[in-house]
Amino acid sequence: MQNGNPILKSVRAALEREPLINLHRWPIQLDLADDHALILEGEVGSVAAKKRALEIAGAAPDVRGLVDRLHVAPAERKGDGAILDVLESLLLDARELTNCTLRVVKKGQTVTLQEAAGEDASGDILVSVRDGVVTLDGWAISLSHKRMVGVLAWWVPGCRDVVDALEVLPPEQDNDDEVSDALSLVLEMDPMIPHPEQIRVHTHNYVVTLDGLVATQTEKDRAEQDAWCLFAVDKVINQLAVSR
């Protein structure tokens, strides 16, 4: 870190004020490149912390770009092979991906898990894992599919980051309703959310608000986590009530 740089001092002060970020437990290294691109590096405690850190840094005056080297500290460390095995199962079990070609990279070789052909194919997804970072390449038929696959990757124990490079074909215009629809789909798929119909999802300018009723604090936290894991979601307001 360039000691005394006013841009870095301003960003660090803003990060310290964000309740979702704990710099004492999870220090973030800040550096400024010659072109005034801000480099963020380190581990953070959650997907929410990562996204908020990037948003805060990107909004700082005189910052002309971001280099994201932040990873989420997993609750349990897993090898890349173990992460890939679990993600394979999640993808193959997803009803929405039945007509999608699924491929994974294992030991440098591409292995086809499932192949779909014809005009009704809903995608061709290639998954690789390196140092706990899941990369998704290829294409999906909709933004909802893209977001869903990204969340499935975040669900895997040991995952430290998800690089969602999936292209949407044919291209779709993103909007708030699409985000809400994707989250509703994810909540229905989540085995930790037994009654997704009791959760109402509202999105405005990519800020998701959750309200309704859940049975436990664990379910409330999980629903919020699912929202944060969605591609392009900038903020989550959790107004879910807990019945017990």
Tens digits of residue pLDDT in 39-74: 999 999 999 999 999 999 999 888 889 999 999 999
Residue 1 has pLDDT above 50, yes or no: no
* Residue 107 tokens, joined: 């030991």
Selection from 65, 15, 67 nearest residue 45 by Cα: 15
Query: Given pLDDT bands bounded at 50, 70 and 90, which one contains residue 34?
Result: confident
Alpha-carbon distances of 42 from 48, 90, 111, 193, rounded to whole Å: 15, 28, 32, 31
pLDDT at 2: 56
Domain ranges of the chain: 6-72, 80-168, 176-242
**Would you state the pLDDT for residue 62?**
86
**pLDDT (0 to 100) of residue 3:** 58
Give the residues across from 200 on adjacent strands: 211
- Number of residues that make up the chain: 244
CB 200 within 8 A of CB 212: yes
In angstroms, the CA 69 to CA 243 distance is: 39
56 in Cβ contact with 68 (< 8 Å):
no
Encoded tokens for 54: 């990037």
Contact 232, 206 (CB under 8 A): yes
CATH number (3.30.1340, 3.30.70, 1.10.357, 3.40.50) of 176-242 reads 3.30.1340
Fold adopted by 6-72: Histidine-containing Protein; Chain: A; (3.30.1340)
Q: pLDDT digit string (tens) for 83-136?
A: 999 999 999 999 999 999 999 999 999 999 999 977 788 999 999 999 999 999
- Per-chain mean pLDDT for the chain: 95
How confident is the model over 211-224, as pLDDT tens digits? 999 999 999 999 99
What residue type is assigned to position 19 of the chain? Answer: P
